[in-house]
Amino acid sequence: MAVTVFILNGPNLNLLGQRETAIYGDVTLADIEAQCAEAAKRLDLSVDFRQTNHEGELIDWLHEAGRVASGVVINPGAYTHTSIALHDAIRALSVPVIELHLSNIFARESFRHHSYVSPSATGIICGLGAQGYTLALEAIQPMASAAGT
Ligand code: CA2
């Protein structure tokens, strides 16, 4: 049976494809969702793809993932660099969590070089654009299957 992986996207990622295309490319979040649905089919995963601009909602979704999912892929957006609450919520999970960034945060402004999420994450993918989402699903599939919901 397919296990469930939450794919959570944080603030401003709903704007992808409309602005900042030099950094993030012209791909939209809807394109990424479609790409994830295709990868999920191939990997026999059930994916639940969400985006929010609210920190508390991301935290509620992480708690929900702890109850009903076998893994989480999260692009926390700018909360990556500010949120101890996200750090704590991810730390409380026993399912694998992959932190994902479209851009290479280490090649950008210095305020993006620190992540509060990374020390709590199982693994990190950054700088590979939209392809990172497919790679994250490929990486989490065996771990999520072992975790098994
Ligand atoms: O590279 C990533 O995926 C980021 O998580 C994207 C965040 C940024 O704050 C992180 O440092 C790295 C930004 C999300 C998208 O922001 C947009 C803003 C305007 C127009 C389009 C996207």
Q: Are 119 and 80 in contact (CB under 8 A)?
A: no
Q: How far is the CA of 147 from the centre of ligand 1 (A)?
A: 30
Q: How confident is the model at residue 61 (pLDDT cuts 50, 70, 90)?
A: very high
pLDDT in tens, 5-42: 999 999 999 999 998 999 999 999 999 999 999 999 99
Give residue 54's pLDDT. 98
Contact 120, 91 (CB under 8 A): yes
**Ligand 1: which atom is nearest the Cα of residue 10?**
14
Task: Report helix, strand or coil for 53.
Answer: coil
Identify the pLDDT of residue 1: 84
Q: What is the pLDDT of residue 132?
A: 98
Residues identified as active-site: 24, 101
pLDDT band at 107 (very low <50, low <70, confident <90, very high): very high
- Could you tell me the pLDDT band of residue 148, with boundaries at 50, 70 and 90? confident
Residue 101: is its pLDDT beyond 80? yes
Give all domains of the chain, ordered by start, each with its CATH number: 3-147 (3.40.50.9100)
127-143 pLDDT per residue, tens: 999 999 999 999 999 99
Q: Whose CA is nearest to atom 7 of ligand 1?
A: 77
Q: Are the CB atoms for 3 and 145 separated by under 8 Å?
A: yes
The residue with tokens 């926390």 is 76
Of 29, 53, 81, 101, which is best to mutate to test ligand 1, by the most ligand atoms within 8 angstroms of its C-beta? Answer: 101
Pocket test for ligand 1, best of 28, 73, 105 (most atoms within 8 A of CB): 105
Asked if residue 149 has pLDDT above 60, the reply is no
Residue 45 has what pLDDT?
98
